[in-house]
Structure 1
Amino acid sequence: MWKNFFKIAFRNLLKHKLHTGINLVGLTLGLGVSILIFFFVQFELSFDNFHADSDRIFRVQSHEMVDGEMVESFSSPMIVEATFREEFTQIESITNINNGQAQAILPDDSRETQGFNMVHPDFLDIFSFDLIQGDRSTQLQDKYSIVITESVAEKYFGGEAPIGKSIQLKMAEEFIDYQVTGVMADIPANSSLKFEILMPITNMDFFSDPEGMTSWYSVWGSNVVKLQSEDQVQSIHESMNAIMKRALGDQYVEGEFYFTLVPISEMHFSEGRGNGSLETTKASLLWILAGIALLVLLIACINFTTMAIGRSTTRAKEVGVRKTMGANFSQLTFQFLTEAFLIVLFALILGVALAELLVPTFNQLFQKEMDLVYGPVQILILIGLVVFITALAGAYPAFFLSSLRPIKVLKGNLSIHFGKQGLRKGLVAFQFFISFLLVTTTLIMLNQMNTIRNYDLGFTKDEVIVVEVPDFPSTSFITSLKESFKKAEVYRQALASRSEVAAAGITIATYGDDAFWDVAYPQEDGTAFNFKVNFIAGDYLETLGLELIEGRNLNPSAGADSSAFIINQTFAEAFGWDDPTGEIIPSSRFDPHSIVGVIKDFHHASLYQPVEPLLIAKTPDAVFSGISNLMINSSTNPKVVVRSNGVPINELRNLLESEWSEVFPGEAFDFKFLNEEVERQYQSDDRLGKMVLIAACIAILIASMGLFAMVALSIAGRTKEIGIRKVLGASSWSISWMFNREFLMITIAGVIVGLPLSLYVMRDWISQFAVRAWPSWVSFGLLALGGILFTALIVSSQSFRATKMNPVKTLKDE
């Protein structure tokens, strides 16, 4: 019996090759895209769950009241580690994690910047990274010992055994030998925490003085704890205030500075401050992609169902005959489900092949390293898709047609008006609705991203190159900053003297690098005024084309304007200054200073954020005297910004590198284009827009095939009516309009519902931008008109062909 079910199913599928082919292509496209997306979502959800005790691992999150607003960050003071270890008996292990980088000497005696993480020995007890060489219990004990990954071992030692060998890192003014005591397997692709070298936290004395490492208001890296039990989180939170009061003493204010524990399972999807170099993903992106996959699958399933409805009369007679011959309801139901299962199974095989072909493109689009691995979870996903689509796409023929009464079918007076008309039209309209929803969403996203790309940021980004200079080793980062500026100035002057360079300046922050300092100072009313700070030298304003609208520029000469500030318009407006030049910031805490110039507002951060008050100075001394809060989010290394004089990029690069070797001999040279850094800020949403565009194209293709098949079925069922109308004098245009009217009404219904819903759906997405631009109503109108004309083209092409048939042939059997 089972053999006959499959044999009959094969025969039916081969008999109706057009419908089978359309279903197969539609489901293959839908499954190929959805498999790729579902596997990607599953891959993202698997991040960090390979740690053996992940349910007991938590990140420390700080909460600090700033200007009446609670600021949360995963960056926390180093003293948290010692304090928590002593105060909380519930903690089994705890480590601080600090990122660093230094020049390293490669086997060929060249140098490059090498990143590393400074951690406590507990790091290896907390995380389950695979140590393949060395004793886990003895690692990270000696200050000058390191644990490296397999890739790093290959880079520095080739095929030689790395244990006992050394890597030279420039941690101070001289290179220091760090001995390899352990080798880890390369970090799994689904780890949010990525690193190449681990070294003991005692190396922090190269980067901070003792005061900075023991201050509650000096933030270095992050802290991670492993509890004895996951149920102990609440008890830690309840005793936090008492411990903070004991630690801060007179500075303690209840509810204004404390810490909480956040599960590591949320680390990959955290969007707050202090994530550092963690690999994170927006959770909303996953649900959007999953929704796209479901919509594309749904369109393919609708194709299957609508064509089953279109063929209902033929299949109804088949059901009548088979029931008369003794077939029961369950046999017929299983027969129809078998046909659906075979199509879905073949489509799944082709869909998996298509997904494999699309993996490289998908990885390039989303900057991932995902492989399609067919483990138990992935197999369950595939089985689930087969069962879901078989049930969804085969439900109508399996249950509706199998229940028909044979006497009505064979007498020819069967009426399945709802099945043939209402449900079919409803499904086709829903298909158009989904397609138009995706297309309209794509239009909104592309319009917004095009607005962002073409928006005037207030500075020159083209032909500007950014070169980060080496950090001057010092436990005082102020000393480090000043000395690095002096060295950068030598390099800047060497470049500025060349005709290939239009202008060159020095800055600690550039667009989108999150290096502008967040500072605040207390005002007389007790509130805090928050603003951004940048330190510059040379021709910074000229290089970036910043417009000075009042006053003058800072004097580039050494020692001049050491207490002078330049502010932006937003800063001046915050204080209501009509003529800011000559004004001083109203606080007795600031050393004597003066505001000498005002620049036109420019976007120092991405367009997700509004323009904030900005202060520009030459040295940090005058600023430090007056502020009460300071947050440094990234590297403070000076950067030399260079604007080309129109020379070819290779020629300019050679110049930059040759002057570099003179000023920084032996140091690794690297540079970035400022316009590329600008574009990088929007990569996530740009990629999402491209994915929605691809989904929209696939949806349109599948819907077009479905429309083509439905029109063909509709015409095939009304060939005699067409013949009679022609005999009675109807024109080809009137007959074509008869078919067009039906399908155009369905298209218009889909457009009417899809347009307002797409605006509603995209409202939250577009609200994340400080600069927003909706497409014009003309664009929406043209898009709707295009959809209507597309439907008319498909329907007219087939209906006109049907009117050319000889009515004698269509009516002769009457």
Structure 2
Amino acid sequence: MIKNYLKIAFRNLFKNKVYSFINIFGLAVGIACCLLIGLYVHNEWSYDEFHADSDRLYRAWVHEDYGNDEIYFNSVTPLILASALENNIPEVEQISRFTTFSNLVKHPDQTEAVSEAISIVDPDFFDMFDFEVIRGVASQTRDNPATVVITEQIAKQFFGEEDPLMQTLHIQFGDTFDEFTVAAIIKNPPLNSSIQFGILIPFSNSSKVFSQNSLTNWFSVSTETYVLLRENSRMEEINEKMETMMVTELGSRYGDDFNEGDLTYTVGLQPITDIRLNTEIPAGIAEVSDPVYSYILAAIALLVLLIACVNFMTLAISRSASRAREVGIRKTIGAVRQHLMLQFWGEALLMTMIALCGGVLLAELLLPRFNSLSGTGLQLELLSGNILILFGIGAILISFIAGIYPALMISGFKPVDVLKGRLSLSGDKNLFRQTMVIFQFSLSIALIAGTLIITQQLEYMRSADLGYNKDQVVVLSTDLNAGPGVPLSQTISDAERLKERLESELAGYPDITSISISSFTPVQSGGWISSDYRDQNDRKRFFDFNIVDHDFVETYGISLISGRDFSVNNPSDERRAILVNEALVEDYGWENPIGQRLPGPDFEEHEVIGVVQNFHYESLHMEVDPLALTINPDILFSGIENIGFSTSPTPRISVRFNSQNLPALMDRIEASWASASVGAPFNYTFVDQSVDNQYRQEERLSQIVLFGSALAIIIACLGLFGLASLMVVRRSKEIGVRKVLGASSQSIVLLINKEFTRLVLSAFIIAAPVAWFVMSNWLQNFAYRIEPDIGLFLLAGASALVIAWLTVGYQSIRATLINPTESLRSE
């Protein structure tokens, strides 16, 4: 019997090649879409799970609450926290700090150094985390501070095909290069690891990286702190012990103020597997992704697959008229309904297996392009046992869902009705098909509207008035690092001299319009220097600031609202002048800001000489905060209580140019840099590119949603094609009569399109409010955003309607070309 079912199934596949192709191709596209997006979502949800002890690995966070909404919440923690946890919390089995900074690195046989990210870790790091050691012994770093562990990528970069083990690398600290011996080579960290690194040095080098005050200060956050808890540890007990620990550690320093709750300092632990998708805890060194994006994409993947299954049903129903006589005859000669249902399910399973193979092949072909869109390096591991089991279950489930309605409906035809020509495909069955079309196009319209809104928001962010001119500015990294023995003021002086040499080298080159130095540049990752202090009324005040030179405002085209800019002709500006933005003036309630000073009792003598327009030195996700610009940082450092920055205040040189020949310009700047910087690496970024990079996550979401939308529309159109075929079959005699009575081809085309137009309009009425609600919530992630325009929803609906007309148009025109005598022959 099974052999007979297979024979009939294959016969039907080859007999109806067009329908079989459409059915299988539509399902294959849905499976491919589900696979690709599923891979991306799984990658997001599986971050850090590759560690064997991932269920016991945690990252610490600190929460300072001074009352009156004065709160500091950080996943970057004080250096002293590690020893405090180790000494006070017996449940802590191992602990390691982790932080990353940029320094110059070179091979001992090379004269030119390059800037690389250096990570500093405690000895337990290599025991806690499962990063694969390829060669060497990483634990050697425990006893020898002059050892280094590097990844495959760094090994190839500096040593090529040589064996790097026990060779040396030179890393700059201050003005000198220290020699480190390569103790081990580690496989590059997986893409779904929150901890990313290239070069690891022991924490015993901390005195070269951190100031002495940072090593013992509870209010100076510098590193991420990871702990491995003992098995069967109870988090409730750990939290109680950490609360007691902080009373002990800080009570002696703050006395009654701390014990009475004027200061609440809380330490907590976050599971390592929670880092990637938890936006409630501030991002540290590791990047955080909004989980809403994963949920949206997972929903798109499942819904696209569901659309494909719906198409399977609608296409099977569209063929039910041609198979009704077959069912009637088989029932007449004794076939029972259960056998017919098994046959139709078997045919569904056969087509599903073929579609599954096609979908996997299609996913494999599209994977490189999808990786490019999503910024990932995903791989489809087809030989994995779990994947094969998932495919098997998926095939059975899809064939069951896709084949259930055709099996129930077609096998339920009554032989007497079929053989007497009284078969009806209307009524509830027609309502079901119409409902499926509305469902498909509701989703398609919602996806189109979502894609349009995301695209418009991205375009708004790229073209928004940032308050400065981001075009034609290149930023050069100086790699002049402040640190122990190298005060920030000296670093700034060194940068100023470097700028003067560069200006001299570029003198007379007309395409260079201005050059400026600053500790931070706009849109720099991590923001600018954040600070707070208490004014004379004991009110907590907050502001960000940047250390700049006389040319910063001019170079970036920042507008002055009142007052004046820094001037080289006014020597006092270098000692005591600051510029503030509109947000600071508003926050401080100044009616006449010129001549004012920040109202802190410990600030050195200074005054506000000008007010600049609010400009977006961070992304449009963030509100513009109160800001100060100064040439002399000491006048601000003297009065600040707490200070923080995510990236080093390494001076950067910004060069504004006016040239259409960018390659020639960069060659000229590089040559001038080589002469001015005496061997420092030529590392540069363009400000406009940095602005675009701020919105990579939204760009990826837009691309993937567009990808899903296109596939959903393709599959929905295949469903429409099937339904239009059904309508032509069902109404063939009616069309023949109309043509005999003189109806024109245009009127018949309009007649057939009329029903589908009504269905698409119904889908629009459902989809528009749903899409508006979802996208309005998504836009709340941006402090500066567009307002969803009704025109975008109308455009989405019109696009779906045009696509539907084009799809149905083929069948409509085909119906008008049928000779009426063919359809009326039996009458």
Short-chain TM bin:
over 0.9
Aligned to 1:421: 430
1:532 aligns with 2:540: no
Partner deviation per Cα, 1:212-252 (whole Å, 9 max, x = no partner): 21111111111000111253322121122221121112423
Q: Do the aligned partners of residues 677 and 273 (structure 1) sit closer, same or farther apart at CA in structure 2, a change above 3 Å counting? A: farther
Aligned to 1:549: 561
1:494 aligns with 2:504: yes
Give the SS at the match of 1:268: coil
Q: Distance in 2 between matches of 1:334 and 1:246?
A: 73
Aligned to 2:692: 679
**What letter is aligned with 2:192?**
N
Partner deviation per Cα, 1:495-542 (whole Å, 9 max, x = no partner): 673433101111111222124111112245544222111110131011
Shift of 1:403: 3.8
Q: Distance in 2 between matches of 1:787 and 1:135?
A: 61
Query: Which residues of 2 match residues 358-373 of structure 1 at below 5 A?
Result: 358-373=366-381
Query: Which residues of 2 match residues 233-632 of structure 1 at below 5 A?
Result: 233-248=235-250, 249-251=252-254, 252=258, 254=261, 256-271=264-279, 275-374=283-382, 375-415=384-424, 417-472=426-481, 474-475=483-484, 478-479=488-489, 481-491=491-501, 493-494=503-504, 497-499=507-509, 500-513=511-524, 514-524=526-536, 526-556=538-568, 560-632=573-645
Query: Which residues of 2 match residues 6-45 of structure 1 at below 5 A?
Result: 6-45=6-45
**What letter is aligned with 1:57?**
L
Q: Distance in 2 between matches of 1:586 and 1:137?
A: 52
Q: Distance in 2 between matches of 1:703 and 1:495?
A: 63
Q: Do the aligned partners of residues 471 and 180 (structure 1) sit closer, same or farther apart at CA in structure 2, a change above 3 Å counting? A: same
Query: Normalising to structure 1: TM-score of the pair?
Result: 0.95
**What letter is aligned with 1:221?**
T
Q: Do the aligned partners of residues 162 and 793 (structure 1) sit closer, same or farther apart at CA in structure 2, a change above 3 Å counting? A: closer
Q: Distance in 2 between matches of 1:782 and 1:553?
A: 47
1:661 aligns with 2:674: yes
Q: Distance in 1 between matches of 2:753 and 2:608?
A: 71
Shift of 1:276: 4.6
Q: Distance in 2 between matches of 1:99 and 1:794?
A: 56
Answer whether contact 1:535 1:616 (CA < 8 A) is retained: yes
Q: Distance in 2 between matches of 1:200 and 1:556?
A: 45
Partner deviation per Cα, 1:529-588 (whole Å, 9 max, x = no partner): 221111101310110001112111123477743221100011111122222101122232
Q: Do the aligned partners of residues 726 and 451 (structure 1) sit closer, same or farther apart at CA in structure 2, a change above 3 Å counting? A: same
Q: Distance in 2 between matches of 1:330 and 1:527?
A: 80
User: Which residue, out of 146, 149, 160, partners 2:148?
Assistant: 146
**What letter is aligned with 1:536?**
V
Answer whether contact 2:583 2:627 (CA < 8 A) is retained: yes
User: Which segment is superposed worse, 776-785 or 371-380?
Assistant: 776-785
Query: Normalising to structure 2: TM-score of the pair?
Result: 0.94
Q: Distance in 2 between matches of 1:515 and 1:488?
A: 24
1:113 aligns with 2:124: no
Shift of 1:423: 0.6
Q: Distance in 2 between matches of 1:727 and 1:269?
A: 66
Shift of 1:165: 1.8
**What letter is aligned with 2:13?**
L
Give the SS at the match of 1:231: coil
User: Which segment is superposed worse, 310-319 or 601-610?
Assistant: 310-319
Query: Which residues of 2 match residues 37-186 of structure 1 at below 5 A?
Result: 37-65=37-65, 68-106=69-107, 107-186=109-188
Shift of 1:784: 2.6
Q: Distance in 2 between matches of 1:218 and 1:129?
A: 29
Partner deviation per Cα, 1:570-618 (whole Å, 9 max, x = no partner): 1111122222101122232322211111011111111111211111111
Q: Do the aligned partners of residues 777 and 190 (structure 1) sit closer, same or farther apart at CA in structure 2, a change above 3 Å counting? A: closer
Give the SS at the match of 1:139: helix
Give the SS at the match of 1:553: coil
Shift of 1:417: 3.2
Give the SS at the match of 1:583: coil
Partner deviation per Cα, 1:174-196 (whole Å, 9 max, x = no partner): 22210122222332333221112
Aligned to 2:200: 198
User: Which segment is superposed worse, 61-70 or 679-688?
Assistant: 61-70
Aligned to 1:720: 733
Answer whether contact 1:504 1:538 (CA < 8 A) is retained: no
Answer whether contact 1:72 1:272 (CA < 8 A) is retained: no
Q: Distance in 1 between matches of 2:549 and 2:319?
A: 77
Q: Distance in 2 between matches of 1:614 and 1:495?
A: 33
**What letter is aligned with 2:553?**
L
Give the SS at the match of 2:622: coil
Superposition RMSD in Å: 2.3
Answer whether contact 1:539 1:556 (CA < 8 A) is retained: no
**What letter is aligned with 1:297?**
L
Shift of 1:410: 3.6
Q: Distance in 2 between matches of 1:456 and 1:288?
A: 30
Q: Do the aligned partners of residues 180 and 798 (structure 1) sit closer, same or farther apart at CA in structure 2, a change above 3 Å counting? A: closer
Answer whether contact 1:568 1:614 (CA < 8 A) is retained: yes
Q: Distance in 2 between matches of 1:495 and 1:560?
A: 27
Query: Which residues of 2 match residues 221-236 of structure 1 at below 5 A?
Result: 221-229=223-231, 231-236=233-238
Give the SS at the match of 2:553: helix
Give the SS at the match of 2:221: coil
Q: Do the aligned partners of residues 47 and 377 (structure 1) sit closer, same or farther apart at CA in structure 2, a change above 3 Å counting? A: farther
**What letter is aligned with 1:563?**
R
Q: Distance in 2 between matches of 1:787 and 1:512?
A: 38
Shift of 1:473: 5.4
Answer whether contact 1:171 1:473 (CA < 8 A) is retained: no
Answer whether contact 2:114 2:681 (CA < 8 A) is retained: yes
Answer whether contact 1:65 1:257 (CA < 8 A) is retained: yes
> Structure 1: 5+ residue runs without aligned partners?
none
Answer whether contact 2:506 2:669 (CA < 8 A) is retained: no
User: Which segment is superposed worse, 218-227 or 719-728?
Assistant: 719-728
Q: Do the aligned partners of residues 146 and 274 (structure 1) sit closer, same or farther apart at CA in structure 2, a change above 3 Å counting? A: farther
Shift of 1:84: 1.0
Q: Distance in 1 between matches of 2:617 and 2:483?
A: 28
Give the SS at the match of 2:182: strand
1:642 aligns with 2:642: no
Q: Do the aligned partners of residues 561 and 479 (structure 1) sit closer, same or farther apart at CA in structure 2, a change above 3 Å counting? A: closer
Shift of 1:277: 4.2
User: Which segment is superposed worse, 572-581 or 725-734?
Assistant: 725-734
Q: Distance in 2 between matches of 1:679 and 1:789?
A: 33
Identity, in percent, stands at: 34
Shift of 1:262: 0.5
Give the SS at the match of 1:121: coil
Shift of 1:656: 2.4
Instruction: Give the count of matched residue pairs.
Output: 814
